[in-house]
Amino acid sequence: MALFAASGFGPADDGTGVAQVPSLASPALDPWSAVRLSLIVAFSAVLLGLVPAVAVGWLLARRDFPGKSFVSMIVMAPLVVPPVVTGFLLLTVLGRESALGGLLAAMGLPIPFTLLGATLAALVVGFPLYVMAIRAVFDTVDRRFEEVSWTLGVPKLPTFRRIALPLALPGIAAGAVLAFARSLGEFGATVVLAGNMEGQTRTIALAVYSLLESPSGQGATWTLVIASVMLSLVALLGFERLTRWQRRRIEDHHGGR
């Protein structure tokens, strides 16, 4: 992290001329603060990714175009690239010395070592799961419903809003749940891009890591572990129910043709 600070990637100094690099080892003082931050980050990542995920999922499911395989590969890359590497790439692109990062900082939207940075890290690592679920559901929606609408003179965008989108809604929600669950457990990209600052960017995974290095942190660690497991199980249950709902909707529409 000192390398990042020396390279302009770290947070601003406190007036002493020394960059304040977030600690990786200081114990979390309040485990519920980590739970709250994790929920904020996960919900924010899901909301920020909703429109792009629907657009990319629909595009990959319904359109053939030059470079489609490359686009799909780029979208899915965070699934196979180590999260720490993903975080480093994000830090390189969005750091204060980069053109984009400098512009965002000048606009009052600094990314590194902020809650926004933690949200973007979670969004990037969860985005492939978001897109996979949405792409799969658009593959199952019968295009003939839309084609009938087109033949009746309804433009494509209203047809999408009134027919394809409602049919795909449970699958989109299932993708959102998957992305939410992945965001809750994010560690590598978050710690590189956003740091590990108590009350600011320390999510559940980062708090557990910090507490493992503290001899007195066992009780708080178990609190976070139980909270994390419960949230994950609720997310998985939601995904399963949404998947079944989507399957029934598709079967009902196919049976009613």
Return the domain boundaries, the chain: 28-255
Structural Rg of the chain based on CA atoms: 21
pLDDT at 6: 34
Q: Which residues pair with 19 in a beta bridge?
A: 13
pLDDT at 154: 84
Q: What pLDDT, on a 0 to 100 scale, did the predictor assign at position 21?
A: 43
State the pLDDT at residue 2.
44
CA angle at 93 for the pair 89 and 98, rounded to the nearest 5°: 140
**Digit-coded pLDDT (tens) for 211-239:** 887 777 778 888 888 988 998 889 888 88
User: How high is the pLDDT of residue 251?
Assistant: 65
The runs of H, that is alpha helices, within 95-164 are 99-106, 115-140, 143-151, 156-159
Instruction: Compute the distance between CA of residue 142 and CA of residue 244 in angstroms, rounded to an integer.
Output: 17
C-alpha span between 27 and 206 (Å, rounded): 10
pTM: 0.81
Q: Is 15 helix (H, G, I), strand (E, B) or coil?
A: coil
Query: How many whole angstroms separate alpha carbon 32 and alpha carbon 37?
Result: 8
Q: Give the model's pLDDT for residue 240.
A: 81
Neighbour count for residue 199 (Cβ, 10 Å): 13
| pLDDT score recorded for residue 15 | 40
The amino acid present at 255, given as its one-letter code, is G
For 28-255, give the CATH class. mainly alpha
Q: Which residues of the chain have pLDDT under 70?
A: 1-29, 249-257
Residue 135 contacts residue 178 (beta carbons within 8 Å) = no
